[in-house]
Amino acid sequence: MAKRRTDLGAYQPEIVAGNGLLHRRALLGRGMMLAGAAATGVDGSLTSAAAEPMVDPAWTNAPGSLMLPYQVPSRFEKDVVRAVDNPNNLPRNTRARTPHHLLNGIITPNGLHFTICHGGVPDIDPAQHRLVIHGLVKRPLVFTLEDLARYPKVSRIGFVECGGNSAPLFSNTPIQANVTALHGLASCSEWTGVLLSTLLEETGIDPKAKWIIAEGADSPRLTRSVPVAKALDDAMIAMYQNGERIQPGQGYPMRLWLPGYEGNMNVKYIRRLQLTDQPTMSYYESRTYSQILPDGKAYRFYFLQEVKSFITSPSPGLALKDPGIYEVTGVAYSGTGRITKVMISADGGQSWGEAALQDPVLPKAFTRFRMPWRWNGGPAVLQSRAWDEGGNVQPLRADFVALRGQTSRPPDVGAFPSQHFNAITSWGVSNRGEVNHVYA
């Protein structure tokens, strides 16, 4: 066998960190195959049981079904759905979480984009919808959807993340739940619309304006105060999501999109923008999205979704079957800009190896990372840690909760003890291959 390896070019997958993390170039075809061979200590051709003889299945011997005007996923994918926490539509807010562990790439399919509504999903007739810009402007104006169709548009890929995403990790003990439950309130799409700065050019801005009160046409008339500086930077009145009109859960027919800013500020069903010299201190900004600190003070106007990453596979519910090579993959993102580096650990942070960042690496968007890992069948703790182009690094959980606090007892998995959790997530792998949420 030693001779065979020599014949193949003496390739040895380079181990870059403890407990089996391999160099990211082992992801390239040949390297991966050989790494697999090395993992089991046998020749590549002997790593799998012999295949069964091939037969033609029924679907190959008969024509297929009717083609739908708007196609839907295969019936075999029926479990790839969002987790909805208010299935009976009780009179309260409802959340639907993205099943990240069942997805791949950087774009969240429209039907799986996370949604939070505080008064149900409104059924808006686009022909009757209006967008008003008024207050400290030179000319208060009303726009229809038809009007906006004629304005110059831009398309940008970017994430939206609820300020409360990952809130279960504020629990003092790790809550056992899957990626959907822990990190499912973030998604990433291509958004197309008119830059808000374009519309403000038409209304003109009074120099006294410092804030824009953004209000939706949903039943709570959800309202947030947005700094004018953000509006002029990269805010968009988004009308398309991944090429089609945005989904009702994302704000049909138009939403405010503030790349990199707390999801709740990205006001859906946007109907009114009031320029003012002061914030309104709405319910959501003064109560819900103000974060209690251990000393009794609280943060206000957090806005920024800071640098973060989590591993989507392996993850709870995706058990490892046999020792050997696995791809450790997940998403990293930052409201500050581009992701510059993601490091992976398989030994609970004792040693780290650099993951491959898959192109495209875009500012304020999901970046898919991948890393080959040889599981030796023993216990492991998988972690990912991201860096962004602003020089920010994803904090260790212990450091993070020392500043931001944690609960004194485990809350319900759906509770929001605080928000803006961006520290490292740890997945513990048992010697049976089960994956659990742990603190390391």
What residues line the site for another protein (CB under 8 A)?
90-92, 118-119, 132-134, 137-143, 147, 150-152, 170, 198-199, 201-204, 210, 213, 215, 219-223, 227, 229-230, 271-272, 274, 276, 278-283, 286-287, 290, 292-293, 296-304, 405-409, 411, 415, 417-418
Query: Does residue 189 contact residue 157 with C-beta atoms inside 8 Å?
Result: yes
Nearest approach in angstroms of CB 139 to another protein is 5
Nearest approach in angstroms of CB 222 to another protein is 8
Give yes or no for a cis peptide into 360 (omega within 30° of 0). yes
Nearest approach in angstroms of CB 81 to another protein is 24
Nearest approach in angstroms of CB 213 to another protein is 5
Q: Which is nearer to another protein, 139 or 432 (CB)?
A: 139
Q: Which is nearer to another protein, 272 or 368 (CB)?
A: 272
Give the C-alpha separation, 322 to 318, whole Å: 12
Residue 383: exposed, middle, or buried by beta-carbon count in 10 A (0-12, 13-18, 19+)? buried
Q: How many CB atoms lie within 10 A of CB 111?
A: 13
Q: Which is nearer to another protein, 94 or 241 (CB)?
A: 94
Nearest approach in angstroms of CB 202 to another protein is 5
Question: For residue 313, what are its two tokens?
Answer: 């596979």
Q: Which is nearer to another protein, 345 or 406 (CB)?
A: 406
Q: Which is nearer to another protein, 214 or 320 (CB)?
A: 214
Nearest approach in angstroms of CB 316 to another protein is 23
Q: Which is nearer to another protein, 4 or 300 (CB)?
A: 300
Instruction: Give strand ranges (E) for 11-136.
Output: 15-17, 21-22, 83-84, 94-97, 115-117, 131-135
Question: For residue 80, what are its two tokens?
Answer: 């790839």
Q: How many CB atoms lie within 10 A of CB 197?
A: 14
Nearest approach in angstroms of CB 273 to another protein is 11
Q: Which is nearer to another protein, 23 or 271 (CB)?
A: 271
Q: Which is nearer to another protein, 107 or 145 (CB)?
A: 145
CA dihedral over 27, 32, 35, 41, signed as positive or negative:
positive
Residues found in the chain: 440
Question: For residue 291, what are its two tokens?
Answer: 């974060």
The pair phi, psi for residue 26, each rounded to 5°, is -70, -10
Nearest approach in angstroms of CB 363 to another protein is 16
Residue 387 neighbours by CB under 8 Å, 6+ apart: 307, 339, 340, 341, 342, 393, 394
Give me the residue label for tokens 């709740």.
264
Query: Does residue 384 contact residue 352 with C-beta atoms inside 8 Å?
Result: no
